Structure 1
């Protein structure tokens, strides 16, 4: 049998519990309704009324309770939390999505935008959009929308990113701008795809029209060597046949760009690959040309790797090292390879202290047949980037003329199963 004091405490606890529920409902920032047919009551909260309303309804024990939210994400919910909710969803989108506030400060930036521009997504939040794009303010369409308060619809952008941008404006209740939302569809990859499609058609024609005659000429030269004077034989062996072989190699490389060989992908630990397989291969080349090799491998990648064709990835690094060697001037050459975990990607930096690339030609170095070397084919970098892209990665270059070059390779990263 409960005492009077115990009953009083229970009643007090129940009153405080009801008061807690009531205060909690008062602090819910959006309207809702809850109907409980079993007890015959409806609880609802309206927009401009903080105190909830309780109304009687007809009982119906077979009817399930009904809860309805009447939430306006712009008015009833802190927009910063809406952005936190949307961020991982937008990370799955292949276009660039950026939110800025009324001052042009970035409040949301999806991974695709951060990766393509080459920044750390977490570090760019809270900074002005010009720090993301690194182009003049008058060329930034998001800022144009802020200035004019006019959204853009499928506007073609012709700056260095090249693509189609759409912007939309979210307003506060007082009419001021809360956010400008920008979505950018990059067309650079389409341009590259068009180039490679043309390259493929040219390659097929070259293979058909030139390779067979080269093989025929080379065969006859080999056959005629025994019937010709010694000085002609020397000319054939040291000049004509090597030049025919070089022309055949050019055709082979070009065909690999247009129609690469089948890949044999496997999971490889990226740091292990660089320390063991790659170092062994590059070290001999470096010793031969008096190049100093150094490494800085991110420990966070110790249990991470990539799915890739190991031989093709090695070919990429060989091409980059040979490029650096062929471009070096009188001073000693240092090549530094660094890895980093960045936005769910592995970044591999290949830096050298060579002469750098002039700004007038840096945008063309991945074009097939573009070369500044007298004996170069201009296919090494084009083929290297094609290999990386086939592995769902990207490759870009940064260079300061006279102060060295850095190639940045990004590949999707996976934990070892």
Structure 2
């Protein structure tokens, strides 16, 4: 066999080196390798590999990698099932872990937010971010109550390196609003049951007697019965029925229906009648993807949501003509519906309370329409949000898309 020339040996070593480098680049973790001959191999979290020649300081080789970064990848999948906010930051305040609930509530992309500063996630001044306070003071935060619109409890914990420096700061935020809302729902249900039991039967009896008495009294009194007394009793019965809707069970009869069929065969007819009655203009836009979505729904309940939103807009309009623009689009596995009016808007100070049962700014209102609407959407596995300005109010409804 012919001996290899120096040039051939160099070329062979280059090929071998390239193969090793290609292999190392595919390893799913960062590391630093120090050989006994002074060669250093470094790999970041990506695929880039660096070879550095250095002075030999030890006869023993070493191999280290950031196992905690790997653990965070596994922990993210676990924390995605937790209904609270869980965020990790490093010593520089950069997000290294963000669970799904945090990303969902703060309207960010879970993957893209990792690597950015915590202030970009929370949209708060640095001095109001407890993770950064913990990073500076090196003191954990224990069960601190937040009293702003995000009513809840925050806890932070520090993870240290072997040398005593900070490795991570972990933040956990638990909404108390969820429990407050559940308590309100329970209270509303109790009130509804009590009112229904105590008032519905007497009202029915009184209404029946008023109808009988109409036949034996003068025309003026009969007209009063017909136009005022009986309608007021009917109105009271309607209020009782609305109370009961708040505590209605989430298990209602539903069917899978293509959204386009629901809109054309049911919803548009109702909204057309409403717009004619209140002299309003209603426009809608539905994307092709949204029209083909299959939604498991109770048609009557979803129609009730649209009617409630429409009538809420009627009450918010002032001198100008009411205009409603609603649209639907598919966003991943969700049907996103926006319902926008051109009313006077909602005061920012009370915006967070509009879905609370019995909350109203109207002297003749019951404060049940929006609460009932949100309850219906929640029971369908969706969510409902509101945004408002002087130009009008926008309600956003997200409904889960079912498999055909």
Which bin holds the TM-score, normalised by the shorter protein?
A: 0.7 to 0.9
Q: Which of 378, 381, 393 is matched with 2:367 structurally?
A: 378
C-alpha displacement at 1:327, in angstroms?
Answer: 1.3
> Equivalent residue for 1:198?
187
Q: 1 CA distance for matches of 2:328 and 2:94?
A: 30
Q: Counterpart of 1:142 in 2: which secondary structure?
A: helix
Structure 2 unmatched runs, 5+: 3-8, 38-62
- 1:18-167 matches, cutoff 5 A: 75-77=65-67, 79=69, 83-121=72-110, 124-167=113-156
Q: 2 CA distance for matches of 1:270 and 1:110?
A: 31
Structure 1 unmatched runs, 5+: 6-11, 32-45, 52-70
C-alpha displacement at 1:186, in angstroms?
Answer: 1.7
Q: 1 CA distance for matches of 2:327 and 2:394?
A: 10
C-alpha displacement at 1:207, in angstroms?
Answer: 1.1
The normalised TM-score by structure 2 is 0.78
> Equivalent residue for 2:314?
325
Corresponding pairs, count: 376
> Equivalent residue for 1:34?
none
Q: 2 CA distance for matches of 1:333 and 1:139?
A: 41
Q: Counterpart of 2:178 in 1: which secondary structure?
A: helix
Q: 2 CA distance for matches of 1:89 and 1:314?
A: 38
Q: 2 CA distance for matches of 1:361 and 1:141?
A: 26
RMSD: 3.8
Q: Counterpart of 1:114 in 2: which secondary structure?
A: helix
C-alpha displacement at 1:163, in angstroms?
Answer: 2.1
Q: 1:26 to 1:342 in 2, by over 3 A?
A: closer
Q: 2 CA distance for matches of 1:397 and 1:236?
A: 41
- 1:381-400 matches, cutoff 5 A: 381-400=370-389
Q: Which of 326, 332, 344 is matched with 1:337 structurally?
A: 326
Q: 2 CA distance for matches of 1:122 and 1:276?
A: 40
Q: 1:227 to 1:136 in 2, by over 3 A?
A: farther
Conserved 8 A contact 2:250-2:380? no
C-alpha displacement at 1:113, in angstroms?
Answer: 1.6
Conserved 8 A contact 1:265-1:307? yes
1:213 correspondence with 2:202: yes
Conserved 8 A contact 2:127-2:133? yes
The normalised TM-score by structure 1 is 0.76
Q: 1 CA distance for matches of 2:28 and 2:365?
A: 67
> Equivalent residue for 1:284?
273
Q: Greater shift after overlay, 132-141 or 159-168?
A: 132-141
Q: 2 CA distance for matches of 1:245 and 1:223?
A: 16
C-alpha displacement at 1:21, in angstroms?
Answer: 8.4
C-alpha displacement at 1:343, in angstroms?
Answer: 6.4
C-alpha displacement at 1:106, in angstroms?
Answer: 3.4
